[in-house]
Amino acid sequence: MSNIFEEARQSIVDGDKDLAVELAHKGLAEGIDPGELIQKGFVPGVMEVGDLFSDGEVFLPEVMTSAVAIKAACAVLNDAIEARGDKKVKRAKVVLATVEGDLHDIGKGIVAAMLSANGFEIIDLGRDVSTETIVEAAVEHDADIIGTSALLTTTMAAQQTLEELLNEKGLKSRFKTIVGGAPVTQRWATKIGADAFAENASEAVKIAFKLIEDK
């Protein structure tokens, strides 16, 4: 049984979508709990890819291929969980957006894929999203976390505006906030009052789990 976990991990590292789906079906046929296969097999694979990307050992095409593979495998396993009639545990919700004036979307897409693979429900608002729209979506979806990305120094100010708007509306304590993007630093996050700074997608996953525990 442990071997299929390793095979599942490797299929994601290799970005082999067909093999990942085949292993998902194989695991179900062998009676392996689908949630366990996700957490012990496929998730370690996507986390490894995230670390490799951070270290410059793999690049964006490989990351996106791995994201497609785990999404396909998890679709099979999640369908099995629902068909089994398990009581579903409420998943933490994360609203993600690239801030207004910023058209860069790739990094946020990787974060969304990795958070989704780790069990978070993602509301991805896309790029060039206004602060008001972000807050409205967080309230509408009863989100737990708001994550924003700014890839330009000229758009970073929107992350500060978000913190100010949350305070003005009395919503700051309701949502945890994570900021990221090439020019963004921990110092900036502290300055504007964000709850956390994520340097990369792997860190974003770890931080999201911690913020949920704290919340």
Q: What is the mean pLDDT of the chain?
A: 90
Q: Domain check: are 59 and 164 in the same one?
A: no
Q: Report if pTM > 0.85.
A: no
For 47-72, write each residue's pLDDT tens digit.
888 788 878 898 878 888 888 898 88
Shared domain for 62 and 141, answered yes or no, is: no
pLDDT, tens digit (0-9, with 9 covering 90-100), for 21-34: 999 999 999 999 88
Say yes or no: 173 and 206 in one domain: yes
Residues 124 and 179 in one domain: yes
Asked if 80 and 106 sit in the same domain, the reply is no
Residue 162 has pLDDT above 90, yes or no: yes
With residue 99 as reference, give the H or E element that holds it: none
- 98 and 117, same domain (yes or no): yes
Residues 26 and 45 both lie in one domain: yes
- pLDDT at residue 89, rounded to an integer: 47
pLDDT of amino acid 167: 98
Write out the residue range of the structural domain in which residue 33 sits. Answer: 2-84
CATH number, position 73: 1.10.1240.10
CA-CA distance, 196 to 212, in Å (whole number)? 12
Is the per-residue pLDDT at 164 higher than 60?
yes
Residues 78 and 106 in one domain: no
Domain's final residue, options 24, 51, 84: 84
Q: Which residues contact 91 (CB under 8 A, 6 or more apart)?
A: 119, 120, 121
| CATH number of the structural domain spanning residue 179 | 3.40.50.280
The pLDDT of 139-167, averaged and rounded, is 97
Domain end point (choices 67, 84, 101): 84
- Cα 96 to Cα 93, 146, 203: the distances in Å are 10, 6, 15
Same-domain check for residues 101 and 78? no
Q: Indicate the residue among 35, 63, 84 that finishes a domain.
A: 84
* Residue 195 sits in the same domain as residue 171: yes
pLDDT digits (tens, 9 = 90+) for 96-136: 999 999 988 877 877 887 787 777 889 999 999 999 999 99
Q: Are residues 140 and 182 in the same domain?
A: yes
Q: Give the total number of structural domains in the chain.
A: 2
